[in-house]
Amino acid sequence: MVKVVLVGTGNVAKFLFDIFSKHPQLRLVQVVGRNVKALNYFKTGTEVSSNFGDLKAADIYILAVKDNAIQAVSKELAIQDGILVHTSGSIAMEVLPENVRRGVFYPLQTFSGIPPKNRENIPFCIEAENEADYSFLEDLAKSISNSVCRISSEKRRQLHLAAVFANNFTNHMYFLASDICTEHELPFKLLKPLIRETYEKIMLQDPLDAQTGPARRNDLKTLEEHLLLLKESRHKKVYTTISESIQETYGKKL
Amino acid sequence: MVKVVLVGTGNVAKFLFDIFSKHPQLRLVQVVGRNVKALNYFKTGTEVSSNFGDLKAADIYILAVKDNAIQAVSKELAIQDGILVHTSGSIAMEVLPENVRRGVFYPLQTFSGIPPKNRENIPFCIEAENEADYSFLEDLAKSISNSVCRISSEKRRQLHLAAVFANNFTNHMYFLASDICTEHELPFKLLKPLIRETYEKIMLQDPLDAQTGPARRNDLKTLEEHLLLLKESRHKKVYTTISESIQETYGKKL
């Protein structure tokens, strides 16, 4: 029975808690977090503590705290034995203290108040200093996901950056579309079937081939008209920058 | 039995043909298009002609040609009776000739080589010069879609512009993400569960609330690191412009 301690009380910690507390081969022995109130969520499933120095013995300590807290919190942890991993996309494994067995256990997903669906498809990007620990992390990841891969810290940062485009920036495009709708008293829901189709196409087709629209066709007349229609300078700037990027992608010299 | 003539042979024409040729209350009497080879697709289901002057009698003539051809083609059509509509998001109804009963029959969807799924959910945005024709178009649209709305030419242009953000620009974000993956020998498919979650969240949540990421948190350290990681100036420019737009959206004065 693998023993796990979870450090952190945010959305990633909750996600892992929900999985681990129902996992047949794991025993979640403790959740540790500074925020006493936030620990309530975890109380029903395991022991909790707000003292980083008061850790239970475990095979693995999973740090699910904010990126900028990883280094500081990891120094405070009194780990005797077991692997210490963090769950961040952009922080190097080497940020963890040298005197522990280090690794990374990064679920490539967006975690907000709403728990992610299709948990078993969330990719886990794994890294470890030695092969035995890597195998251990791989087995653990495979027991909760059908997509597990070995990714170095350097590549993981690039993957996380790509994820910013695929998730954060895509969401902002949805927002700008909804902003234009609101301004003109049009229901945003009219765009939802289009958003669905855009998503479904990309599951089957390379995004390079799936591109359509005035910038793709280098339809300068429509591009100009659209800029005239946009009132906010922020909208105009985004429109121009992305349109130019599309035009460059498809061979138009600007 | 409503008689329909379809003018055009592109993806929108194919989409409407596929629906109309199986429609119980409609009779597709003719497809007309300049491109003789492209007419082959339609031959099995109806009569075809490459002569815009040789039109069959019909209740409605649906123009599904490129935006920049709408005006010229509509002038060539020898329509005795019946409504003439175009299917474009960005062209005003008034571009059609004055001597016919004019309207707009705009399916808000992206049409490429792959036929769209979930056809019955595609919104139809309708416009007509008189109430009787509007009712006719509304009935026709409702017989093929469960989302029909009356939208003026002016609002339709704004909706089409919003659709550029929701579809074209979103797809380019996917492309840039895939470009970063390719550059670093990372499989793009690792991002697909994230793309799915981003899409699924927006079906339930306002995009303003769904936003996450370093720009949303105003996490300047990560924003700087990301800019250093990006090699191509095009990627950098898109990254900066969208991040600034997100920062402004959430109250950061730049």
Tens of pLDDT, residue by residue over A212-251, are 999 999 999 999 999 999 999 999 999 999 999 999 999 8
Question: pLDDT, tens digit, for every residue of B47-66?
Answer: 999 999 899 999 999 999 99
From residue A156, how far is each of A93, A105, A176 by CA, in Å?
Answer: 10, 11, 29
The values of phi and psi at residue B194, to 5°, are -65, -45
Suggest the residue from A12, A156, A170, A206 to mutate for an interface test with chain B (most B CBs closer than 10 A).
A170
**Contact yes or no for A166 and B174 at CB 8 A:** yes
**Residue A186 pLDDT exceeds 90:** yes
**Section A78-86 average pLDDT:** 95
Numbers of helices and strands, H then E, in chain A: 11, 8
**Contact yes or no for A159 and B221 at CB 8 A:** no
Q: What is the mean pLDDT of chain B?
A: 95
Name the minimum distance, in Å, from the CA of B55 to any CA of chain A: 30
Question: pLDDT, tens digit, for every residue of B183-216?
Answer: 999 999 999 999 999 999 999 999 999 999 999 9
Q: Is A250 on the interface with B (CB under 8 A)?
A: no
Tokens of A99: 């005197």
Chain A residues whose CB is inside 8 A of the B169 CB are 173, 176, 238, 242
Chain B residues whose CB is inside 8 A of the A208 CB are 175, 178
Suggest the residue from A242, A246, A249, A254 to mutate for an interface test with chain B (most B CBs closer than 10 A).
A242
**Residue B111 pLDDT exceeds 90:** no
Give residue A113's pLDDT band: very low, low, confident or very high (50, 70, 90): confident
In contact, B127 and B93? CB cutoff 8 Å: yes
Could you tell me what percent of chain B has a pLDDT over 70? 99
**What is residue B118's predicted lDDT score, i.e. its pLDDT?**
85
**Residue A252 pLDDT exceeds 70:** no
From residue B135, how far is each of B1, B126, B128, B132, B241 by CA, in Å?
Answer: 16, 10, 9, 5, 45
**Residue A116 pLDDT exceeds 90:** no
Cα–Cα nearest to B63, from B29, B35, B111, B31: B31
Only one residue has tokens 């280098």, namely A218
Residue A223 buriedness (CB in 10 A; 0-12 / 13-18 / 19+)? buried
**Section B9-15 average pLDDT:** 95
C-alpha torsion sign, points B53, B56, B60, B63: negative
Give residue B252's pLDDT band: very low, low, confident or very high (50, 70, 90): low
Could you tell me what percent of chain B has a pLDDT over 90? 91
Chain B residues whose CB is inside 8 A of the A215 CB are 168
Suggest the residue from B109, B183, B199 to mutate for an interface test with chain A (most A CBs closer than 10 A).
B199
Name the minimum distance, in Å, from the CA of A66 to any CA of chain B: 11
Question: pLDDT, tens digit, for every residue of A27-40?
Answer: 999 999 999 999 99
Cα–Cα distance for residue pair B56/B62, rounded to 1 Å: 13
Cα–Cα nearest to A148, from A129, A126, A176, A169: A126
**Residue A111 pLDDT exceeds 90:** no
Cα–Cα distance for residue pair B249/B254, rounded to 1 Å: 11
Enclosing H/E stretch for A83: strand A83-86
Cα–Cα distance for residue pair B250/A53, rounded to 1 Å: 37
**Section A93-97 average pLDDT:** 97
Burial A107-127 (b: 16+ CB within 10 A, else e): bbbbbeeeebeeeeebbbbbb
DSSP-based three-state secondary structure for B21: coil
Only one residue has tokens 């807290």, namely A69
Tokens of A80: 């005797």
Residue A139 burial (CB count, 10 A): 12
**Section A9-24 average pLDDT:** 94
Residues 130-159 of A with CB under 8 A from B: 147, 149, 151, 155, 157-159
Cα–Cα nearest to A11, from A112, A143, A158: A112
**Residue A253 pLDDT exceeds 60:** no
Quickly list H helices, B69-150.
70-76, 131-142
Give residue A88's pLDDT band: very low, low, confident or very high (50, 70, 90): very high
In contact, A29 and A58? CB cutoff 8 Å: yes
Cα–Cα distance for residue pair B228/B251, rounded to 1 Å: 25
Q: Is A178 on the interface with B (CB under 8 A)?
A: yes
Residue B221 burial (CB count, 10 A): 11
**Residue A178 pLDDT exceeds 60:** yes
**Section A16-29 average pLDDT:** 94
**Residue A202 pLDDT exceeds 80:** yes
**Contact yes or no for A177 and B155 at CB 8 A:** no
**What is residue B112's predicted lDDT score, i.e. its pLDDT?**
79
**Residue A115 pLDDT exceeds 90:** no
The values of phi and psi at residue A40, to 5°, are -50, -40
Cα–Cα distance for residue pair B107/B115, rounded to 1 Å: 13
Q: What is the mean pLDDT of chain A?
A: 95
**What is residue B144's predicted lDDT score, i.e. its pLDDT?**
95
Only one residue has tokens 């189709």, namely A197
DSSP-based three-state secondary structure for A105: strand
**Section A112-117 average pLDDT:** 78
Quickly list H helices, chain A.
11-20, 40-43, 70-76, 131-142, 153-163, 170-183, 192-204, 207-210, 214-217, 220-229, 233-249
**Section B86-96 average pLDDT:** 96
Question: pLDDT, tens digit, for every residue of A146-171?
Answer: 999 999 999 999 999 999 999 999 99
| Closest CB to B177 among A166, A175, A200 | A166
Q: What is the pTM of this model?
A: 0.93
Q: What number is the ipTM of this complex?
A: 0.93
Q: Is A237 on the interface with B (CB under 8 A)?
A: yes
**Section A196-208 average pLDDT:** 95
**Section B174-184 average pLDDT:** 97
Tokens of A48: 């909790």
Tokens of B35: 């491109």
Q: Based on C-alpha coordinates, what's the Rg of chain B?
A: 22
Chain A residues whose CB is inside 8 A of the B15 CB are none
